Structure formats: C-alpha cells, structure tokens
Amino acid sequence: MSDGSIIVTGANGLIGNAVRSLLEASGRSVVALDRVSRTDEGKELIDCDVTDVHRLHAIARRQPIAGIVHCGAFSGPMVARDNPIAMVQVNIVGTANVLEIARVHGVRRFVFCSSTSAFGTTDASSPIPEDVALFPGSVYGASKVAGEQLVSTFSQQYGLDGVSLRLSWVFGPRRTTDCVIRTMIEDALARRPTRMPFGRDFPRQYIHVDDAARALVAALDRPSLPRSVYTITGGTHLTLGQIADVVRKLLPHADIELGPGADPVDEVQGRFDISAAARDLGFQPRFTFEQGVAQYAEWLRGRMQ
C-alpha cells in the first residue's frame, strides 16, 4: 500500500473497529470515521455520516489517502426493517458518496464490506461460488448487491481499484445487534434458559470478527486482485442446533431449547465456497468455530462481572 492514511468508515462498529485496530497495530495511519465521536474503549473517532458527502470531502482533503475500507452501513437484515428508505440512503447512497471520495482523491484501493445476504436463498448444493445469480430476500441484501455493482461500475468507468467482500454472519466481542450466539452465551452465564421457537435445523455460516477484519485488510493490501467479489466465511456450515451443542460443551450449565424451522428474518443458504479468497487473498480462518465461541464467552464473562 502506498504512503497515506487509510479511511475506515463505521469505525465504531463491530467490523470497522476490528479493521481499525488491526491497521493501527501494524503502524498504519487510520482516519476513523463514524457517526459518534468516541468508541466504548475511548478511541477517538471523527464524527461523519456517510450520507454527508461534503463532510467526507472535507475530511479527505486533510491528508493523502491511500485506501478506504468501507464498513459504515446498517449491518444486517434485522436492522431498520421498518425503514427501507433509510437503508437505501445509508447503504446505497452512502456507498456512492464514499466511492466518490475514492475517485476524486485518487485512492489506490477501495474495499467494500458486502454480505452473503446479497445471495438471498440459495440452492442447497455446495459449495456455492461467487458467480451465481443473486436474489436477495431483504432490502438490506439488495443494498449490498447495489453497493457491489457501484464498486464494479466505478472500477470500469473511472478506473477505481475496488473490491467487495461478502462476509457471512459476524460474531465476537463488541457485537451489539441481534446475535444468537451472544444470546446463548449470556443466558448461560446468567443461568437463564434460552428458548427459541425456531432454528434447530436451520443452517448458518458464522465468522469471527477478527477473521473478518483480516480478510478486509488482506483485500486492501494485495497488489492486484483478479476478482471484484470474494466470499468470506469462517469455513463452517452449522445448524443453530449444532451451535447450541458447542455452547453447551463450553458452558455445561447452558439450558438451550430450539424449535424446528428457519429464522423468519434470514434465508436458507448452502455452504459458500471460500477457495477464491484462499487463493487470491491468502485468507484462511484462524479461529475454529469452537475457539471463537470460547473467546467470545470469556469476553462476555468479563463484561458481566
């Protein structure tokens, strides 16, 4: 990566904070943007909403910008379900604004944080490659498809070097939105029962937040990338019932009961192929699912004491 700072949008969020921390740990200069001015850990942020293109330009003019990792967005199909216009404004218009910053300021690499929600419901056959037809089942998923298309079009029309990473469900320290894993762990630690009317046979692909951040930074730093889109998961395809078994193994007093059927706000998806990311990004998950849950449980235990 050439000289200059890295803009990270959504730097107070789960993924953005992990990307920022990883970059700063390696001695990189980071311009951390978010709608708030300070993280829970006291890290300073530059307050900036991605829908405010003039504010974005003013910030970008302050120093040379070498790259952008765009994580700032509504972060899942369960968020803003009753406000689709806000989803469009933040996730689509906001992405266009940040792409325009990259174009105008000559950024070398733009990394877009997309989602496997872009696929929608998939065929059960596995593994599923990136280059299949996309049928998102939520406005959130559609916003990620639109974002990917904007990245691709800015690349074709303006020569911007952009790439999109479709991340699966991310879990780990600092997640604030709905998370089945967190619910199971917190209930177990508090000696509460977990009761869900669905999910026992419903598959989901999780990735630990630190692995997601490593993939995004790898996409930022690779000299050249032969693809415009990569799928990133933790390498597992487990039902929520199997996930409950992992929590019970780590926390034997966990009392978890799940009913049958799918999550009403998620799609049924087959196992995704992450071989392209392994080949081109050198990405392999470092956390096994059990290791990730154990680390998350210890972090949550410390927060509850």
Q: Which pLDDT band, with edges at 50, 70 and 90, does 215 fall under?
A: very high
Does residue 52 lie within any of the structural domains? yes
Does residue 154 lie within any of the structural domains? yes
Confidence check: pLDDT of 173 > 70: yes
Three-class SS of residue 291? helix
SS3 content of the chain, % helix, strand, coil (to 5): 40, 20, 40
Stretch 268-275: mean pLDDT: 96
Q: Which pLDDT band, with edges at 50, 70 and 90, does 305 fall under?
A: confident
Does residue 188 lie within any of the structural domains? no
Q: Which pLDDT band, with edges at 50, 70 and 90, does 75 fall under?
A: confident
> What is the model's pLDDT at position 214?
98
Does residue 178 lie within any of the structural domains? no
Q: Could you tell me the sign of the dihedral formed by the alpha carbons of 262, 266, 126, 209, in that order?
A: negative
Lowest-pLDDT choice from 76-80, 199-203, 255-259: 76-80
Name the pTM for this structure: 0.95
167 touches 212 (CB < 8 A): yes
How many structural domains is the chain composed of?
1
Q: Whose CA is closest to 209, among 285, 261, 267?
A: 285
Domain that holds residue 48: 5-170+208-235+270-286
Confidence check: pLDDT of 2 > 80: no
Residues above pLDDT 90, as percent of the chain: 88
Does residue 258 lie within any of the structural domains? no
Euclidean distance between CA atoms 108 and 151, whole angstroms: 13
Does residue 40 lie within any of the structural domains? yes
Report the CATH number at residue 42. Answer: 3.40.50.720
Confidence check: pLDDT of 1 > 60: no
Does residue 264 lie within any of the structural domains? no
Does residue 148 lie within any of the structural domains? yes
Ramachandran region, residue 53 (left: φ > 0; alpha: ψ -120 to 50; beta: rest): alpha
